[in-house]
Amino acid sequence: MKTLADMRPVYVVGIGLHPYQNRSDTTYVTLGLRAVREALADAGITWPDVESAYIGNALVGMAAGAGMLRYLGMTGIPFAQVENASASGSTAVRQAAMEVAAGFTDVSLAMGVDTVDQWRTGPAKARVRGLADSLAAPFTHFAMLTEKYMQESGATPEQIAKVAVKNHRNGAHNPYAQRQQERTLEEVMAPPRISGVLTRLQCTPVGEGAAAVIVMSEEGMRRHGIDRRRAIRIAASASRSEEIFGRENYDVALTRKTTFEAFEQSGIAPKELDVLEVHDAFTIEELLYVEAMGLCEQGEAAAALERGDYDIGGRHAVSPSGGLIAMGHPLGPTGTGQVAEVVRQLRGEAGVRQQPNARVGLAHMVGIGPVCLVHILVRDN
């Protein structure tokens, strides 16, 4: 099987977002166009320069891409809408990167856009019923994992809530974040309780928004006069789905397998990661995933977080954007938005959220399926 490392190099050269926000009357078209226009301006190119587009989207519906991108001027390029649950935007990035790497195009757009809408999932239509499927919302799934983690690692509810304190602090400085307010530990732990020890501020707010990235080959960068110092290489793209993992929790096992595949593709080791954007829809996830990724030993993430290892300025800045907890999780955009944040960090353009001397970054999403996508990005110069 080939990987990006076997093909011609691919770079992210433009990033753009529409801020993630609470449900409003804004159409998905307005959200999406703002993100794409910002990404084009950031790259210093125009829409006719783009040769293909992948649109990550979970909720809008059929032909969402065409219904939006036509207002940039109909240039006739191929569109494909990409749905992969919460990882839709990550999958759009992967598809665009593979197309450029393979030489089909030199300039491709990957984006994600969604507004708040009813979830219609395939598994729910399969008519395979457990004993209590409708009672196990995602927050309850993760509340049960939290209980188990506390028992096995000895971590306390306060230590778990500190993930949210960090991520709200990061989000407070992110103009694209849905929640831009610092929160104390007391505020994070205050009611309303949602499930188990998880409170409202430890759960992602699902809202609306858009994110876009422009990916290019070196040929495309030459042709369009791209400043190489702001181009960030996609060193690995790994995408996997569930397999038989035995007794281990599948989110954790799948994250470990996918992340280590990305490490192998890129030759990057966990300790080299300066910046990570992880799927922290619920506080417990960040702890479980950074352990699975090898940032620390099993059961030690809560203590490492308390030491400041995952703060901006720490050993690895984890979710400097605010993550899903503070930046938000509008589904389609989230995975693309993570890549945009990692690129901003690796360029050194993240302002007060900047992880010093960031050179290597990772973006990680999981989604219903379960599926998992991991991208590793590297600043070469």
Partner 1 sequence: MFPAQAYGCTSCGAFGDELGISELPAEGTLLTFAVVHRHDRHPVPFTLGEIEIGSDGPIVRALLGDGHEPAIGDRVRARVVEDEGQQRLEFVAATEVNA
Q: Summarize as ranges the residues that interact with partner 1 (CB under 8 A).
A: 126, 128-137, 139-140, 143-148, 151, 192-196, 244
Cα Rg of the chain (Å, integer)? 19
**Nearest CB to partner 1, comparing residues 160 and 194:** 194
In angstroms, give the least distance from the CB of 134 to partner 1. 7
Kindly report the three-state secondary structure assignment for every residue of 23-41: CCCCCHHHHHHHHHHHHHH
Q: Nearest 5°: phi and psi at 127? A: 60, 35
- What are the DSSP calls for 116-154, one per residue? ------HHHHTT---SSGGG--HHHHHHHHHHHHHHHH-
Q: Nearest 5°: phi and psi at 375? A: -115, 140
In angstroms, give the least distance from the CB of 296 to partner 1. 22
**Nearest CB to partner 1, comparing residues 147 and 272:** 147
**Nearest CB to partner 1, comparing residues 143 and 317:** 143
Residue 128 is classified by DSSP as -
In angstroms, give the least distance from the CB of 214 to partner 1. 39
Cα–Cα dist 81/351, whole Å: 33
**Nearest CB to partner 1, comparing residues 76 and 191:** 191
In angstroms, give the least distance from the CB of 364 to partner 1. 23
**Nearest CB to partner 1, comparing residues 33 and 284:** 284
CB 378: neighbour CB atoms within 10 A?
18
Cα–Cα dist 34/295, whole Å: 36
**Nearest CB to partner 1, comparing residues 143 and 213:** 143
In angstroms, give the least distance from the CB of 343 to partner 1. 36
Cα–Cα dist 272/70, whole Å: 42
Cα–Cα dist 132/129, whole Å: 8
Residue 270 is classified by DSSP as G
In angstroms, give the least distance from the CB of 125 to partner 1. 12
Beta bridge partners of 366: 372
In angstroms, give the least distance from the CB of 198 to partner 1. 8
**Nearest CB to partner 1, comparing residues 3 and 140:** 140
Q: In terms of Cα–Cα distance, which of 111, 170, 133, 162 is closest to 330?
A: 111
Cα–Cα dist 4/235, whole Å: 7
